[in-house]
Amino acid sequence: MKNPRKMTRTLFVGLLVGISLDANAQSLQEAIRMTDNERFENATAAFRSLLAASPNDGQTWFFMGENYWYNDRTDSAAACYASGIRLNPMFPLNHAGSGKVQMAAGKRTEADALFLAAIAAATNKGSKLPKSVQAMTYREVAEGLGAGPNADIPAALVQLQKAIELDPNDAETFVLQGDLLAARGSFDASDALAAYKKAAELAPNAARPIARKAVMYYRAKNYEAALAEFDRAIGVDPTYAPAYSGRAEAHFVTKAYDKATADYDHYLALNKGNTSARIRYAKFLYLIGKYPESLTEINALRSAGVKDNNLGRVEGYALCEGGEFAKARKVMEEYFAQQPAEKVISTDYEMMGRIYQGLAKEAASTTVINDGGTMVVKTPENTVTTDINGATSVIMVGSGENLDSLAAEMYLKAARMDRTKHALFIEAGKAFTKAKLHAQAAMAYREKILQGRPEVNDYYYLGGAANKAKLFATADSAWSVYVERQSGVHQGYLGRARANVGMDSTKTTWQAKPFYEEVVRKIKPEEQAKYKVDLEEAYFYLGFYFYSSAKDQSTAKCWFEKLATLNAGTSNTKTGTDMLLTLKDVPAKDCALPIQ
């Protein structure tokens, strides 16, 4: 669904700008209604026709800018607002529209200056603009303040209240109020619902206030309520196209795929001839998992001469989902090269991470070919040959890229852009681990923890990565938290033991001893076969502690005998067995640990 802060449109232009309903005004209303129904190309043609007859008409430039704005063509919207200012500087709405563009780009200072210019023009006594125009200016300023990555909802609501005071019967103002209140994220949605209800009362024949309420329910994941409201909106106005696309998405998340497809077919029928509707359809096909069909639609649009960078986004996503990672990478790299930075979304980086991981997995696959006396192992990155005498040589044929590391960097970008996607810090850490970049993995896990509400496994991942990165103090700290929360399992104690071994590299304090003892205590007899390597590590350390530090060879022999009986088949097994040979004449002592 669209961003709710880019959904407010003006349907009641005859009332708002105070013009008489002559033929030109009627045409303007029709063009605006096309925008409202997402028939953007038809609306553009209508606006251009009006401007050909009245090129200095500031309000037509404004509404044409709005048409581009709601179609996510921000640059074209900015050009229209700028033309409106140049040709009719006293018409206030184009100043507000330009401010909205600046706000969306994160340029608050520039936006505020334009908002002030809009209000000054609207309230200029010499212009004698009606209250409806002044109210609409405050409303546009409010919408602008609610746009972009640094939206200021409280300030927007203040400006919107001024619009209500000037024109309390404007349904559009209450729709925007509902949008802003919903965007504020209040746990109590009653204030937003009241605003939408008021808008519906003021415009009983309009479907949009009802559809906006449906969107609010959709975003709250109350899909049953969303579907009911979309049904109501369509009942009020069966020609209101956005209600069909909205209902299609609600049907999709409830797995009613046939109904979703039928609604989108109806949406396309209402928007016949509009390429923007077909672009949305290509996105929808991707959403419902019809990746080949989505790619077919994208190719058809491109063949028709449609140039829209968002097609590249959907194409890259669909190729990734279809496992065509090399093609997906090429498409997404072209997309990033063309997409303005402020229009890149977190999912773009997330998908790029998945693409890199897919390529990494492909690169890890091997093909073995017997060529005479030589075994040849080929991967996309290199060719390894081994002759009959065991000698090997490696011929690098790939780019040498660390694809797992690239994936991790993309996941970090996505997580930092959208803090609700904190699980991507874990994905980044795992990818860094595959790339053998353990310090970076630890950094990613630590960043996840610092987001707040850490989970117990976050400390497990951090402790493991920090140990591998030889960041032993960090590891010990992480594992100590894990032990507090999971005191009944041995893994946390093993992690602390390894961290303390690292901090005691010269075996001076033997400070890992109590943690290895806990490993022995926590592994139950029925678990020993499963965790024999971990248990052997503890036996090995304790054996050498008593042999080297405590000078208690009898107890040392007991631990090494346990190790030999366990027979885990590691290097510790061999070393421990060798130690038993040196202690063959030493009587063994019971080394059972006291129960705590």
Average predicted confidence (pLDDT) for the chain: 89
Confidence of residue 387 (pLDDT cuts 50, 70, 90): very low
Mean pLDDT on 237-257: 93
Taking only the tens place, the pLDDT of each residue in 322-364 is 999 999 999 999 999 999 887 899 999 999 999 999 999 999 8
- Cβ-contact 294, 281 below 8 angstroms: no
Whole-number pLDDT of residue 321? 96
Largest CA distance in the chain: 114
Whole-number pLDDT of residue 401? 84
Cα–Cα distance for residue pair 229/141, rounded to 1 Å: 29
Confidence of residue 219 (pLDDT cuts 50, 70, 90): confident
Other residues' Cβ atoms within 10 Å of the Cβ of residue 50: 22
Other residues' Cβ atoms within 10 Å of the Cβ of residue 228: 16
Taking only the tens place, the pLDDT of each residue in 279-323 is 889 988 998 889 999 999 999 999 988 888 889 999 999 999 999
Helix (H, G, I), strand (E, B) or coil at 94: helix
Percent of the chain with pLDDT over 70: 89
CA distances from 316 to 238, 285, 319, 335, 422 (A): 34, 14, 5, 8, 23
Higher pLDDT pick, 286 / 396: 286
- Cβ-contact 217, 229 below 8 angstroms: yes
Whole-number pLDDT of residue 150? 86
pLDDT at 217 over 70: yes
Q: Which two tokens stand for residue 235?
A: 């009942």
Mean pLDDT on 232-247: 95
Listing from the earlier edge strand, what are the strands of the sheet with 392-396?
367-371, 374-378, 382-386, 392-396
State in Å, rounded, how far the first CA of the chain is from the last one: 58
Confidence of residue 17 (pLDDT cuts 50, 70, 90): very low
pLDDT at 21 over 80: no
Q: Which of 23-32, 114-123, 539-548 has the least mean pLDDT?
A: 23-32
Whole-number pLDDT of residue 413? 97
Mean pLDDT on 247-276: 91
Confidence of residue 383 (pLDDT cuts 50, 70, 90): very low
Query: What are the CB-based long-range contacts (under 8 Å, 24+) for 501-508?
Result: 501/541, 502/467, 502/470, 502/472, 502/475, 503/472, 503/473, 503/476, 507/548, 507/549
CA 66 from chain center: how many Å? Answer: 27
Q: Which of 354, 492, 368, 472 is nearest to 424 (CA)?
A: 354
pLDDT at 261 over 70: yes
Whole-number pLDDT of residue 26? 62
Taking only the tens place, the pLDDT of each residue in 188-197 is 678 998 999 9
Q: Which of 221-235, 377-391, 428-442, 577-591 has the least mean pLDDT?
A: 377-391
Whole-number pLDDT of residue 25? 54
Whether the CA torsion 515, 520, 522, 527 is positive or negative: it is: positive
Annotate 443-461 with DSSP letters as a single string.
HHHHHHHHTSS--HHHHHH
Whole-number pLDDT of residue 85? 97
Taking only the tens place, the pLDDT of each residue in 437-495 is 999 999 999 999 998 889 999 999 999 999 999 999 999 999 999 999 999 999 999 99
Whole-number pLDDT of residue 381? 43
Which domains can be identified in the chain, with CATH numbers? 1-168 (1.25.40.10)
Taking only the tens place, the pLDDT of each residue in 85-96 is 999 999 999 999
Taking only the tens place, the pLDDT of each residue in 489-534 is 999 999 999 999 999 999 999 999 999 999 999 999 999 999 999 9
Cα–Cα distance for residue pair 518/238, rounded to 1 Å: 70
Helix (H, G, I), strand (E, B) or coil at 45: helix
Whole-number pLDDT of residue 126? 86
Mean pLDDT on 213-238: 93
Q: Which two tokens stand for residue 461?
A: 């991942």
**Please, which residues bridge with residue 377 across strands?**
368, 384
